[in-house]
Structure 1
């Protein structure tokens, strides 16, 4: 027996063991918060503070030429924008644009994901090519779409004329009737690759043995999809719907470069209206109020999606 072993006492071992365990437990409890602290601090400083400033600005009459000399006016900015028929039209256009983007991008992405999940020659290349629209910068997409829709040399007008569906004069982006569908088609073309890739990843988690069991029991493709595949995809589809809603509400560069909100306000969304109020009309207070309307819509969508998700989970448990 060594000298160290001779000098140890039972009490020493019993006291040091619990201390080490308590310190280890304390460290493991606070470790997640320490990792979250930098991201939380970043969000509070660079998003929380500007949001509070925008809330205050929306209750003031502030101009772009004098941004620090705002006058408190209470709810006057909100009364003014909601009393404006053009803003109500902008709000309806925004809601229609968002709903169309969400439904079409998620629906098209689901269809493409189901196709890419099948085995065929060149599947890897197809999976890579489908991501190109998402990877392309929004400015480049807007400029290419504008060139394709040009009234004189655009390929879209040439194709429509060839099949007898040409727009009079070929001015698609200058037509109040066709400008919004053109912007929508371009937006969906850029968004659907993201949803298809995410849903394709979710499809990998579908248990194949359940699909095979359903087919053996005589279930058709639609019944198998509804009973097995859709149950796995539902949470992912819900998350994508929320993301697409928020991204569609924030879409600016594509609409601005293609139509600038025209013609006659046909493609004017909340973000376009916000920019126009702030930099064309020089009304920062009114622009902030419009921005807060967008924030409220986003919060309603997020909270509503969570409530729906919880209700669905309760139904599945039952």
Structure 2
């Protein structure tokens, strides 16, 4: 006698041919349901504004009357590419991006290698290294501006003490020194992120491979190149891509420190875009500059993917 018969509970029988209702979580549409919120967000806040920017770049639209647009075709692009100042802006942008990528990734790798070693206070050092990255960009820009002040800035006092002082101490007002100062501040804010990511990548390097390379007579540099670099190379490539995109988009730090000056010495694409939109009130020209930035970003992303695929094929061989 079964337990149900002993307790007197009624037995439920399934009708022949009856099918169990499929669970919604087991449906083929389940992945799309989970992706739907992100897709809607991207469509509303990314795709639609990008489409509007594309349209604006082919029109003459002013900020004072944005509802009235006149279709002008490629006139905005012809005007900005025919302007020598825009050529200088492109050059400054490329210099800024390349210096930020090399400086942030290079210094981050050096710090990560140092923090990967065993020494007293390593945990505290790893925590403190994240402070520049955790600080808001506005705070970093204001602190850097204060440190570079011509009258009471600590940087000028240090340079004067070692005999490298800038005449008048006006670093941010000098076309020669303003861009290096902005670059140093940007790298100082970015390198903690790269160092933390690369430190986690270094943790994944098999120590037995390094030991085997050392036993085989390889020096420290040879062991790093043959073992460590091969493991962290994909991470370095990803960081270089992220630093490139972030450097192309960086606005608040440059604007608060120099506003693109002096005499356009620190004017990047985003600074030029802001000036065209809110100073010159030309939304069409600003949108055209923005499209140039979008194209550059797409070229960088496509190039990085091609390089990554070529590296993967080379590793397979």
TM-score by length of 2: 0.93
Q: Which residue of structure 1 lines up, in the alignment, with residue 83 of structure 2?
A: 84
**Partner SS, residue 26 of structure 2:** helix
Q: Which residue of structure 2 lines up, in the alignment, with residue 184 of structure 1?
A: 183
Q: Which residues of 2 match residues 286-297 of structure 1 at below 5 A?
A: 286-297=285-296
CA change 1:8–1:34 in 2 (3 A) is closer
CA shift, 1:177, in A, is: 0.4
Residues 161-182 of structure 1: CA deviation (Å, up to 9, x unaligned): 1000011111111110000000
Q: Which residue of structure 1 lines up, in the alignment, with residue 226 of structure 2?
A: 227
Residues 46-72 of structure 1: CA deviation (Å, up to 9, x unaligned): 111001000000000000000010100
**Partner SS, residue 69 of structure 2:** strand
Q: Which residues of 2 match residues 200-239 of structure 1 at below 5 A?
A: 200-239=199-238
CA shift, 1:39, in A, is: 1.0
CA change 1:228–1:30 in 2 (3 A) is farther
Q: Which deviates more from structure 2 when the two are superposed, residues 214-223 or residues 105-114?
A: 214-223
CA shift, 1:24, in A, is: 7.0
User: Could you tell me how far apart the structure 2 residues matched to 1:51 and 1:131 are?
Assistant: 34
CA shift, 1:117, in A, is: 0.7
**Partner SS, residue 259 of structure 2:** coil
Structure number having the greater helix percentage: 1
CA shift, 1:28, in A, is: 6.2
Contact 2:182 2:254 in 1 (8 A): yes
Q: Which residues of 2 match residues 290-309 of structure 1 at below 5 A?
A: 290-309=289-308
Q: Which deviates more from structure 2 when the two are superposed, residues 229-238 or residues 279-288?
A: 229-238
**Partner SS, residue 67 of structure 2:** strand
* 1:52 lines up with 2:51 in the alignment: yes
Provide structure 1 residue ranges, at least 5 long, that are not aligned to the other structure. none
TM-score by length of 1: 0.93
CA shift, 1:29, in A, is: 4.3
CA shift, 1:41, in A, is: 1.2
CA shift, 1:5, in A, is: 9.1
Q: How many residues align?
A: 311
Q: Which residue of structure 1 lines up, in the alignment, with residue 257 of structure 2?
A: 258
Provide structure 2 residue ranges, at least 5 long, that are not aligned to the other structure. none
**Partner SS, residue 67 of structure 1:** strand
Q: Which residue of structure 1 lines up, in the alignment, with residue 271 of structure 2?
A: 272
CA change 1:209–1:79 in 2 (3 A) is same
CA RMSD of aligned residues (A): 2.0
Q: Which residues of 2 match residues 34-183 of structure 1 at below 5 A?
A: 34-183=33-182
